[in-house]
Amino acid sequence: MISAQRSRADGTAPRPIKRGAKVAEALAQEIVHEIVSRRLPPGTLLSSEAQMLEEYGVGRGSLREALRILEVHGLITMKPGRNGGPMVVEAGTRDYGRMSTLFFHLGGTTLGQLVEARLVLEPMMARLAAERRGQELVGQVADPDATAVEDDTAHCDATTDFHRGVASMSGNPVLTLVSVSLEDVFRDQVSGLLSPKDERRRVLEVHAAIAGAIAEGDADAAERLMREHMQEHADWVRQRHPQLMEQVISWR
């Protein structure tokens, strides 16, 4: 064990860090524990390097490696300047998705397999949302904005917000994280792939129908409509861009 650890400025003491080949990983875990236990919001500057070296009793090399691990995982960023240092940032589904692409790539996972996973997950999320009788989406999708049909960015934002909304209303943070991150990965891998403009109004109308079923607590209808919606999208991708479905997901 490392015995040179001292109390932090707030009087609390870091948990002991074990010596060994993975000191940096253990230290990274302890820093995350501190962020979570103290509920440090994004934008919070962590202790300086000198303070961390004293608090944790580790070498400079191990500390810098630990901070690099957290930075790579999207949990902190290094703020430059005289008053800079490691700063907490908000970790999101995109960070989780980016990490997963490494394992998808190594395993030879294709976009078609990712789409199949979404076909399983998203109808289930719609059912869970309906069981909670979520009302949040009704006003958002009841009257589709014309810009969400004509403007590519607006349409992408509207569809993304809808699917994220359904996921969040499922009430299960694990399913939400996985589902939304898969959508992030898909959109990142096939950037620019959007429904034709002549089909977009119908897509938004389907969104409204799913939102209505969720609000009414009709779990069967919500699940069925979402499955049909996702299947139709998958079929469209296969027909228009068959090469994409066989494409191995890249590590991004």
For residues 199 and 102, the answer to whether their CB atoms sit within 8 Å is no
Domain stop point among 88, 113, 133: 88
Burial of 41 (C-beta count, 10 Å sphere; 0-12/13-18/19+)? exposed
Total structural domains within the chain: 2
CB atoms near residue 164 (< 10 Å): 16
**Any bridge partners for residue 110, and if so which?**
248
Nearest residue to 87 (alpha-carbon basis) of 96, 98, 78: 78
User: 217 lies in a domain?
Assistant: yes
The token pair at 211 is 């939102």
The token pair at 14 is 């870091």
**H or E element, residue 52:** helix 49-56
- Secondary structure (3-state) at 78: strand
Note whether 78 and 114 are same-domain residues: no
Give the domain range for residue 140.
94-245
**Any bridge partners for residue 78, and if so which?**
86
Does residue 123 carry a pLDDT above 70?
yes
The token pair at 83 is 């008053």
Mean pLDDT of the residues in the chain: 87
User: DSSP secondary-structure letter at 40?
Assistant: P
Give the CA count within 13 Å in the CB-facing half-sphere of 108: 0
- Secondary structure (3-state) at 85: strand
Across the chain, the runs of DSSP E, i.e. the strands, are: 76-79, 85-88
For the stretch 47-75, pLDDT in tens is 999 999 999 999 999 999 999 999 998 99
Tell me, what CATH number does 71's domain have? 1.10.10.10
Domain stop point among 88, 112, 128: 88
pTM of the shown model: 0.80
For the four alpha carbons of 104, 109, 115 and 117, in that order, the dihedral sign comes to: negative
For the stretch 185-241, pLDDT in tens is 998 888 767 677 888 888 889 999 999 999 999 999 999 999 999 999 999 889 988
| pLDDT given for residue 6 in this prediction | 52
The token pair at 220 is 């069967």
Is the model more confident about 201 or about 8? Answer: 201
Note whether 34 and 120 are same-domain residues: no
Tell me, what CATH number does 197's domain have? 1.20.120.530
Calpha distance 179→201 (Å, rounded): 24
Calpha distance 226→214 (Å, rounded): 11
